[in-house]
Amino acid sequence: MSETLVVGKGLGRDFHDGNAGRITVLLDVDCEIATGARIVLVGPSGSGKTTLLHILGGLDRPTAGTIEWPGLGPFDELRPRLIGFVFQSPSLFPALTAAQNVALPMILAGESDTADGTAASLLESFGLGDLSDKLPEELSGGQSQRIAMARALAIGPKLVLADEPTGQLDSITAQFFFDAVLDRLNGTDIALVVATHDEAVAARMATRWTMDHGRLIAGRPRNKAA
């Protein structure tokens, strides 16, 4: 039976611009994420996708409306155990190898005994096993993004939020990688929300949300992912 993980009501987010004015990035957004959800978030650049993901993950706070995590628990316990996040910009720790970056959330959560094994398994399943000892400076942007996804999944969170995880991959590599992600999540209750411009990735998701000038248009769920 599904459980509601996140509920946003009337979400708004304004930012100050350089001229002491305000820019509205999100406007009156209502949304809900349940266990096992497969949601794609689409829309043009600047439409508010990244800001919404940050609010859903507790990385930013709305300036209007409310955000709650009824199926996850208190705000200060969301990360790293309950929510995994894949950022659009580089986010690997430069002093750690690929394997150490993936293992880090487990170590922080007190699961050091299984961290190395889980990291190795994830890297292999994503076709990255030969990069385990590489530092971020030795990786391409696409390799770094795939490792960041492995890190987000390592702890077995209830919710994964990914911002353009295939944006720096060619179409064939992106398809292989995303197939591996969905295979890893198959049979679990982990919810996945992906912001992307890649229609091949979008087509694999069960529910489509579209951002338009800060407003969210939540599409009807399909019967299943393609």
Residue 14: count other Cβ atoms within 10 Å of its Cβ.
Answer: 16
Is position 135 within any domain? yes
Is position 12 within any domain? no
Rounded CA-CA distance 24/84 in Å is 27
- Count: domains in the chain: 1
Is position 3 within any domain? no
Domain range enclosing 203: 36-61+72-209
Is position 219 within any domain? no
Is position 130 within any domain? yes
Is position 25 within any domain? no
Give this prediction's pTM: 0.91
User: What does the pLDDT look like over 64-107, one tens digit per residue?
Assistant: 999 999 999 888 878 778 999 999 888 999 999 999 999 999 99
Is position 10 within any domain? no
The CATH number covering residue 145 comes to 3.40.50.300
What are the residues whose beta carbons fall under 8 Å from the beta carbon of 31, sequence distance 6 or more?
Answer: 6, 7, 8, 11, 52, 56, 209, 216, 218
Question: pLDDT category, 3, cuts 50, 70, 90?
Answer: very high
Is position 1 within any domain? no
